Structure 1
Amino acid sequence: MVIVGEIDLYTAPGLQAEFTRLLQESPATHVVIDMSGVEFCDSTGMNVLLSALKRLRERGGVLELAAPRPAVRKILQVTGLDSVFTVHETVPEKLLTVKRQA
């Protein structure tokens, strides 16, 4: 999954809907999110990512983040979420499944 733009109070509901659709329509248990195009992510956006992680874990799956920009990486570090999510420095191309504009 590729996310581009900002994940905030205004775009988070659309991202949440996309995760819901993905999880309902797909048997996917391993989702990697390309964060290289995300310029900003606030607490609302982090909550959407955590919710998706929880839902995937409930079905025995995993959610990983790839290539976060420095600002997003700092948020992950400050909140301690870098230890909750598996965070890749680069995007593992073979694992990407869906493209999404935030």
Structure 2
Amino acid sequence: MELNVSTATQGGHVVVTAIGELDLYTAPRLQTALAGLLRTDVDRVVVDLSGVEFCDSTGMNVLLSAMKRIKERGGTFELVAPRPAVRRILQVTGLDTVFTVLDTLPAN
């Protein structure tokens, strides 16, 4: 399955929307999008996972790396609306306590 990644500025932050499966083969697409944002002066990145049906450890590592890089410069990195399968991975790995996970996209 494919992974479609898009970015949009919304209010005071950038929303990265991923749709499809986030795995060893598709994770580079998300990594490229996030790396591009991290080269700018954006200080808040919101990753909309509502369209992600599956995520493996490679996908989680891409998210962790991006979160680490933005937090190192004082920014905010949030995950939004993970589906039950992805939420379960976050819980089993303990990453639900590492990431800020929101149920809906922030209004501002």
Q: Which bin holds the TM-score, normalised by the shorter protein?
A: 0.7 to 0.9
Task: Give the alignment's Cα RMSD to 1 decimal.
Answer: 1.0
* Aligned-partner Cα distance in 1 for 2:63–2:36: 14
- Any idea what the Cα deviations from partners look like across 1:28-62, whole Å, max 9, x if unmatched? 11111111000000000000000000100111112
* 1:4 alignment partner AA: I
Q: Which runs of 4+ in 1 moved over 6 A?
A: none
Higher relative contact order (CA 8 A, sep 6+): 1
Q: Which residue of 1 aligns with 2:73?
A: 59
Q: Which residue of 1 aligns with 2:29?
A: 14
More helix by share: 1
Aligned counterparts, 1:36-55, within 5 A: 36-55=50-69
- 5+ long unaligned stretches in structure 1: 96-102
- Greater alpha carbon shift after TM alignment, 47-56 vs 82-91: 82-91
Q: Which residue of 2 aligns with 1:33?
A: 47
More strand by share: 2
* Aligned-partner Cα distance in 2 for 1:46–1:8: 9
Q: Which residue of 2 aligns with 1:82?
A: 96
Aligned residues: 93
* Aligned-partner Cα distance in 2 for 1:20–1:90: 24
* 2:20 alignment partner AA: G
- 5+ long unaligned stretches in structure 2: 1-15
